[in-house]
Structure 1
Amino acid sequence: MRILVLTHEFPPFRGGVGTYCVETAKAAVAQGHTVEILAPHFGKDNAEEDRLYPFTVRRFAGGVYATRALPRLLLALLRAKPWTFDIIHAADWPFVMLIPWMRPFIRQRIVAMMHGTDVFLLAKSRVAGLLFGRSYLRGADYVVANSRFTEDLVLKYHPYLASPRRTAVTLLGVDPFWFNPPVGPSEALERHGVPKNRKLLLTVARLDIRKGHRYLLQALALLPQHAKDQLGYVIVGKALDLAYQDELKRLAEASGVPVVFAGAVSNDDVRNFYASAWLFCMLAEPNPEKVEGFGLAYLEAAAQSLPSVAAPNGGVPEVVLDGETGVLLKDRSPDKLANLLVELLGRQDDVARFGSAARTWAQTFSWQRCAELTYQPEQAAHRAPSRAEIVAGES
């Protein structure tokens, strides 16, 4: 089949949606499909990088989505001639909300992907309501969600999709890259000024307030000195809010533990950090407008046998198994987190066991399975589900 993937988030912009688009497209090509991705250029010439993909990338002028860019988005969509493809895959919300405008002149299958926060965003957007209506998913032939949590959220706001059922869960996958041995982890730590001979806590996420960096920094300040002497903390990710970054740096200085802000780094170095760390820590703060629909970073960390400490928000419990691949901390208060860290310092065998189980668990998440469920749901239905899908179905 010929598949057109529509996304407003794609490399060089880094994020979960971009990763999803790249990996799903690669898996679809491996299954024999022809894939073209329509994405913004983010103000640069991406031709050299785009040639490395096994699919075609068609760029249009643009960056992070803003309402004023809507006419340009529509023009780019028309130039891509979506009616010439077998499947149109609206992979993130700027294109999902265009489905009512696509439907009248496209008879081919339209698949919409929902990631979690986008359900809230479009439900509350005045512009989306005025221009596209609140039932913007009605024109989709099929709606896929990255977790059972996200699917439930979609059905809450779009009950018309329940009968006949037009939704499915397509859990994300883990690229083999994350399972491969790291290349030069010691050199990476030295290059970024990370202290050695310490048990490293690691967060890989944009410096967004909802990612919960400050919970961990506040907890570090409460640790007894013997625990502080054993730990270090590495924060990997680009700052979205400079004021929040400044707050984190103040908390880091007061923590009494070495803290490194590595910024945005290459995937090679992210993997080096995963391989060198003791615990992956990302305790998302509750937010009525933003949720963790899935949590791919937890699985990429798990691929390097790195267990997680997380909050049981959104789709995270479908990714981190409490007491098996890590710990889900319901009470995210700094004192409870500090107590947990002290406890885990005394349970080294359990932490190692969590890490081993995490790697095995990550291996059950497949991009091939995700692509099949997205583009050939009838065929995929006849195959045995992965353990991850079984757990998601029971949750």
Structure 2
Amino acid sequence: MRKVLILTNEFYPFKGGIGRYCEELINVIKHDNQVTLIAPEYNDKLRYSDISKNVALNLFSGGQFKYWHLPKLIKKVISINFDEYDYILVADWPFWVAIQFVNRFILHKKIKFNLMLHGSEVLNLKNGKASVFARVLNLFTGVETIFTNSNYTKGILLENHHVPKEIPVVVTYLGVSQDLKLSNETYLNNTNSGQFNILTVGRLDDRKGYDHVIKSLGLLPPNIRKKILYTIVGNGSDEFIENLKALANQNDVRLMIRSGVGDEELKKIYQQNNIFVLAAKHSNKKIEGFGLVFLEAAIYGIPSVATDVGAISEVVINNRNGLVVKEDIQEISQAIMKLYTDRELLSELSNNCISDVKKFTWSKLADLTLNDIKKGETQ
């Protein structure tokens, strides 16, 4: 079996996009490859989780990455015999930087690896706190292939960094589980219900635009607004939650905020909603590199209303599986009103969600990611 090494600072039980990416990728490839995972131990739950079955764990003390953890990562990199592995994938920027420290200052033989980029780290290494590393290191030494989660992420990478022409940059869209029977039958049966439920799932962060959604709902006629329940599922500070509740009261919006929701409970919540709304905001520090939550909603046939930010329009196609609008409260409100009043359009978009989501699979991502190692076998 081929030996695959994956390095990441985010993994189970930490909830985040990078950890989810690594978890799903490993679940696909561990059946045909011998996978070793380098990751923090967090609270040690991983060792006793089904996720770790058939995976060699090489964990180190700690949790979510902080800048002062970098020496520990460098030490970890030095301890690894990279020659043992047929394929090496670095899934987050701290290990990317740690390897380049080792490549420049410690090892005579350069470590070769493949790199996955998710979006925000591209800007962080250009203009953020991490930009100091880009000034003292050659970020692309030893990099064999770069994977990005969208064409948008690929674009900002090439715009902000001098990627050597010989390094291929490959777009590998994220996926969603295809294990569930993809059907919107239940959704369509509830399309004409008098109650209209709207859902947002994501970290409780200002750039997700929860306030814009609440204000846009506040612009709807009172007789319609009272039939709408807006549910937010996400974790964040108590202060942020209280601010959203206060804003909902000011705009006479029925709001429910759910935190600490597990995967099974989240599935049930998705099935209770008519549209998914995410009014993401432009940011100079963080970007929407893909938009996995839109696909997760589409599994259940739920169309989306989304702002045209980052790579979102690569997932939500306007007037096909949802509506894409400007970062404007009036436009968000009009889009919600349109789907509320035009249930035939809602049904059409729902049908398209089911057909489109079939294109986004973790197995397709895995095939693209490990394509180089497969080519090596046939040579």
1:280 deviates by 0.6
C-alpha deviation, 1:45, in angstroms = 3.9
Q: What's 1:68 paired with?
A: 68
Residue in structure 1 matched with residue 225 of structure 2 by the alignment: 228
1:215 aligns with 2:212: yes
1:266-306 C-alpha deviation (Å, 9 max, x unpaired): 11111111111100101101111111000111101101111
**Whole-angstrom distance in 2 between the partners of 1:272 and 1:113:** 32
Equivalent position amino acid for 1:354 in 2:
L
Equivalences for 1:218-297 in 2 at 5 Å?
218-239=215-236, 241-297=237-293
The answer to whether the 8 Å contact 2:144/2:167 transfers is no
- SS state of the match for residue 143, structure 2? coil
Q: Distance in 2 between matches of 1:328 and 1:158?
A: 29
Aligned to 1:318: 314
Query: In structure 2, the residue corresponding to 1:210 is in which secondary structure?
Result: helix
1:98 aligns to what? 98
Distance (whole Å) between structure 2 residues aligned to residue 352 and residue 59 of structure 1:
47
Q: Which of 138, 141, 144 lines up with 2:141 in the alignment?
A: 138
Report the CA distance between 1:107 and its aligned residue: 6.0
Match of 2:298 in 1: 302
Deviation at 1:255, TM superposition (A): 3.0
Contact 2:279 2:306 in 1 (8 A): yes
Give the aligned partner of residue 190 of structure 2.
none
Structure 1 alignment gaps of length 5 or more = 186-195, 381-395
Deviation track 1:65-102 (CA, whole Å, cap 9, x = no partner) reads: 11111122223334443332122211011112123235
Residue 141 of structure 1 aligns to a residue whose secondary structure is strand
Q: 5 Å matches for 1:1-395?
A: 1-30=2-31, 32-49=32-49, 52-103=52-103, 104=107, 109-126=112-129, 129-130=132-133, 133=136, 135-161=138-164, 163-177=165-179, 179=181, 198-239=195-236, 241-330=237-326, 332-377=327-372
Q: Distance in 2 between matches of 1:339 and 1:11?
A: 39
C-alpha root-mean-square deviation of aligned residues, in Å?
A: 2.4
The one-letter code matched in structure 2 to 1:253 is N
Q: Distance in 2 between matches of 1:197 and 1:18?
A: 39
Secondary structure at the counterpart of residue 160 of structure 1: coil
Q: Which moved more, 1:368-377 or 1:88-97?
A: 368-377
Q: Are 1:123 and 1:134, in contact at CA under 8 Å, matched by a contact in 2?
A: no
SS in 2 for 1:301: helix
2:86–2:373 CA contact under 8 A, matched in 1:
no
Tell me the CA shift for residue 171 of structure 1.
1.0
Residues 105 and 111 (structure 1 numbering): CA distance in 2 closer, same or farther, change over 3 Å? farther
Cross-structure match for 1:393: none
> What letter corresponds to residue 347 of structure 1 in structure 2?
D
State the shift of 1:160 in Å.
3.1
Q: Give me the TM-score of the superposition, normalised by structure 2.
A: 0.89
Structure 2 CA distance for partners of 1:7 and 1:378, relative to 1, 3 Å: closer
- Is contact 2:199-2:276 (8 Å) kept? yes
Q: 2:277·2:306 contact (CA, 8 Å) conserved in 1?
A: yes
Quickly say closer, same or farther: Cα 1:166–1:294, change in 2 above 3 A. Answer: same
- Give the Cα–Cα distance (whole angstroms) in 2 for the partners of residues 283 and 311 of structure 1: 5
**How big is each residue's C-alpha offset from its partner over 1:311-333, in whole Å with a ceiling of 9 and x where there is no partner?**
11111111111100000012x32
Partners of 1:123 and 1:139 lie apart in 2 by 20
Secondary structure of 1:64's match?
coil
The answer for unaligned runs of 5 or more in structure 2 is 188-192
Question: Any idea what SS the aligned residue of 1:323 has?
Answer: coil
1:91-137: CA deviations, max 9, x gaps? 01111212323544666640011101010112234555258735312
Change (3 A) 1:108 1:29: farther
Residue type of the alignment partner of 1:299: L
Cα distance, 1:180–1:350 mapped onto 2, change above 3 Å: closer
For residues 339-395 of structure 1, the C-alpha deviation after alignment (integer angstroms, 9 at most, x for no partner) is 222222110011111111112111101211211211224858xxxxxxxxxxxxxxx
Distance 2:80 2:178 in 1: 31
Q: Is the 8 A contact 2:183 2:354 kept in 1?
A: no
- Helix, strand or coil for the counterpart of 1:151? helix
Q: Percent identity?
A: 27
